Copies of this chain bind each other. A is one copy, B any other.
Amino acid sequence: MNISQAAKASGLSPKTIRYYERIELIGAASRGDNGYRDYDEEDLDILRFVQRARATGFSVEECRQLLSLYRDTERHSSEVKVLVQEKLERVEAQIQELLQMRDTLQDLVERCPGDEQAQCAIIDKLAEQS
């Protein structure tokens, strides 16, 4: 199976697959006589796993850890759970930051008249010659 077929089957782009190989997130694919990469079903499982993990929001480095747990049949589910809980905490922190930002922006929008005058609460607030 060529890289573009593997790409279609996994939902990743060929570029991304080569990149993942280069940074050793995934193992080097075997090559045909022509030097083309060749993928089998086992490779596809890995590619799909990474695609789903990325789509779920895990970074490439987080995927590296998840992959190593995926491959480790001796793993404890508690290790996986800790990883995902920590990720969840980071996501929640990020949400809080964005909510804070949204409130600030909403406040600015509400206080700006939005007319033909140059006088503008948003600009004033950011300039704040205090």
Contact = CB atoms under 8 A, between A and B. Distances in A.
Contacts of A122: 77, 80-81, 84
B123 A80 contact: yes
Which range holds the interface residue count of chain A? Answer: 35 or more
**Chain A binding surface, main DSSP class:** helix
B102 A88 contact: yes
A109 interface: yes
A45 B87 contact: no
A118 interface: yes
Interface in A62-87: 66, 69-70, 73-78, 80-82, 84-85, 87
A29 interface: no
